[in-house]
Structure 1
Amino acid sequence: MDTLQYKSDKKSNLPAVALGTEIKVFAPATVANVVCGFDVLGFAVNAPGDEVVMRLVEEPGVRLLKITGDDGKLPLNSDKNTVSASVKHYLAHIGREDVGVEIELHKKMPIGSGLGSSSASTVAGLYAINQLMGNLLTAKELVPFAMKGEEIACGYGHADNVAPAIMGGFVLVRSYEPLDVISLPVPQGMYAAIVYPEVDVPTKDARQMIRAKVQLKDAVTQWGNVAGLVSGLFLNDLDLVGRSMKDVLVEPTRSILIPDFEVLRKLAMENGAVGFGISGSGPSVFALTKDEESAKLITKAQQMHLHQINIQSQAYVSEVNTEGPKTL
């Protein structure tokens, strides 16, 4: 049996790290916005997600050695990749830039799907380094470091993907300055039916389509729906959740980018959805249901329609993931 080498931190009272220690972590995809909660609501799902393998080594610095499943789209440069850049911020924060870290990123979900691809990668990396360093920060304390990854990915450090990916379940971002994230209850029996039409809708482009100014009457409608959705979660009232899943600010514009969006909505509602909308910036769409059977019927009907109009798609049926990232 090999003997592990240890590297102590002479600058602080932090514990020594065991060189050669390796960890493999899965982090989940997420549905951001949840229709009416632009940039403030999100929830995690069990599948898909991303995996990160991380090990501690002698040579200081953070190095991204390998990326699989990305078709060469993601940078290996440690300052430009969301995973390694976030890990660097974490190590700087805890005063352990002397630590050597090697990372492998294995993409197990589609990039640009509206399911928090960059978020899942970043969260897997942060969870891994936090575990290797002795769990120095709580899940909630990791959120600002994950937001740095989102800033690299799409130019804006929002938390509606990364917070649920790290904390699990439904999350409300009550405030960004200062950051205040709140875990919300998950109604019993809730399932998500997700379909990803394989068309290109870059997050940056989708954000640029959003109106800078809104009418007061539309804002009032949106506030009521956000409050209704949150109330429905607390009351375990899926019908109230469904009635509240209406967006008068963002969806009318973004839905233009999604093929046959209104047809997909109709198919969802006809097959038992309590509510339907765009996941993140799209093109993925999602429906919430009261049971797994309805979720499967929805994804089957939507995929069949997309196939008829010559669009390939991927589908996922999942309960809300209340665990967040996990060690494999």
Structure 2
Amino acid sequence: MTQIKLFCPATIANLSCGFDVLGLCLDNAGDEMIVRKTEQKGVRITKIVGADLPLETEKNVSGVAALAMLEAYERDFESINFGFEIEIYKNIKAGSGIGSSAASSAGAVFGINELLGQPYSRKDLVQFAMQGEKLASGNAHADNVAPALLGGFTLVRSYAPLDIIRIDSPEELFATVVHPQIELKTSDARSVLKQTVSLKSAIMQWGNVGGLIAGLYTKDYDLIGRSLHDEIVEPLRSVLIPGFDLIKQTALENGALGSGISGSGPSIFALSRGKNTADQIAKAMSDVYENMNLPYEIHVSEINPDGVRIL
């Protein structure tokens, strides 16, 4: 096999209480990517459609992730005398808060790994994709790339050493995500955060993270809903997102289990039980932004159990 075409899914990170450690994989929103072997060594980005992003390998998240992987491969296994070309077809807008950079980073390392004969597991690939995230935001976080590669929900138990737990989604769980058409850079959203938190807030957050994980394992939708509360980050970031409080209130009034900021924003997510409720929430969210005359995109999705997949 010398060429592979991929679906690189969008993701929701943080999930209210799990800043930098929790994420989930969306099923019907994502990019496409073509990765092919070439005779020329190295990694080249030959085409990007749908976004104005750099073609230079060292300035593109997919290129940086791919280079990190190839460096490790030559150290772990053997030197290679060929290279790779990458074409990216962007459907996830940069700065949308649903893992645009993670989709590109995850897709690149997954595709190259396939063409090399799968020397690395999907979990192994996370550490390479994180280097793309470091380029994008200044921080090598895994809460988007882990679900993009592994599917379902993921918990980053530790970054040093990297320890990721994948969790199956309850069957009836759906996500609704609305993206107001403004760009909010991850680096800017991080700049508003405090470096210290009160013990009271930390205790509340620990309880919610534990409750959410327990709710996912036991398929307790009410517990999932009670746990989708952010005591630390959301109060600081929500002021950057137009209509956030009204969107969240509207989602909850229309049956959402919980709602919050997707990643660093400006997208807002809601989790619900059943597609009908998710669709109803989407309609209500849309009405809010229609009334505000603010352009938006909206997605209703099951939880993707597989992550990046071959098309």
2:209 aligned partner:
226
Residue of structure 1 equivalent to 2:263: 280
Q: Partner amino acid for 2:15?
A: V
* 1:88/1:97 contact within 8 Å kept: no
Q: Tell me the residue number matched to 1:23.
A: 4
Give the share of equivalent positions with the same residue, in percent: 47
- Residue 239, structure 1, aligned to residue 222, structure 2: yes
For 2:293, the equivalent position in structure 1 comes to 310
**Equivalent residue, structure 1, for 2:81:** 98
Alignment partners' CA distance in 2, 1:78 and 1:188: 39
Higher Cα radius of gyration? 1
Q: Stretches of 4+ moved more than 3 A in 1? A: none
User: Please, which of 100, 103, 108 is the counterpart of residue 120 of structure 1?
Assistant: 103
Could you say which residue in structure 2 is the equivalent of 1:12?
none
Contact 1:27 1:124 in 2 (8 A): yes
User: 1:300 Cα deviation (Å)?
Assistant: 1.1
Q: CA deviation at 1:97?
A: 4.9
RMSD of Structure 2 on Structure 1 (CA)? 1.0
Aligned length, in residue pairs: 307
Match for 1:206: what amino acid? Answer: A
Cα distance per residue 1:260-294 (max 9 Å; x no partner): 11111111011110111010000000111001011
SS where residue 102 of structure 2 aligns? Answer: helix
**1:136 match: secondary structure:** coil
Residue in 1 aligned with 2:18? 37
**Residue 267 in structure 1 maps to residue 267 in structure 2:** no
Q: CA deviation at 1:306?
A: 0.5
Q: Deviations over 1:46-96 (max 9, x none)?
A: 1211111111111111111111100x2x11110111111211111111114
Q: 1:62 maps to what in 2?
A: 43
- Alignment check: 8 A CA contact 1:40 1:160 kept: yes
State the distance in 2 between where 1:38 and 1:237 align.
22
TM-score in terms of structure 2 length: 0.97
Q: Deviation per CA, 1:208-227, whole angstroms, max 9, x where unpaired?
A: 11111111001000001101
Structure 1: segments with no counterpart, 5+ residues: 1-17
**8 Å Cα contact 1:61-1:97 kept in structure 2:** no
Residue type at the aligned position of 1:81: N
Conserved 8 A contact 2:168-2:305: no
Query: What is the CA–CA distance in structure 2 between the aligned matches of 1:212 and 1:49, rounded to whole Å?
Result: 32
Whether the 8 Å contact between 2:39 and 2:81 is mirrored in structure 1 is: no
The amino acid that maps onto 2:4 is I
Q: Which amino acid in structure 2 is aligned with residue 250 of structure 1?
A: V
Letter of the 2:56 partner, please give it: N
The match for 2:112 is 129
Q: What is aligned with 2:160?
A: 177
Which residue of 2 is the match for residue 81 of structure 1? 60
Quick one: distance in 1 between partners of 2:62 and 2:267? Answer: 23
For the residues of structure 2 that align with 1:263 and 1:129, how far apart are their CA atoms? 43
Matched to 1:65, the amino acid is T
Aligned-partner Cα distance in 2 for 1:196–1:39 = 20
**Superposition pairs of residues 147-166 of structure 1, within 5 angstroms:** 147-166=130-149
Structure 1 stretch 262-271 or stretch 87-96: which is displaced more?
87-96
What is the CA distance between 1:188 and its match in structure 2? 2.1
SS in 2 for 1:269: helix
Q: Aligned letter for 2:144?
A: N
Distance in 2 between the 1:303 and 1:200 partners?
18
Distance in 2, Cα, partners of 1:33 & 1:305:
24
**Contact 1:29 1:120 survives alignment (8 Å):** yes
TM-score (norm 1): 0.92
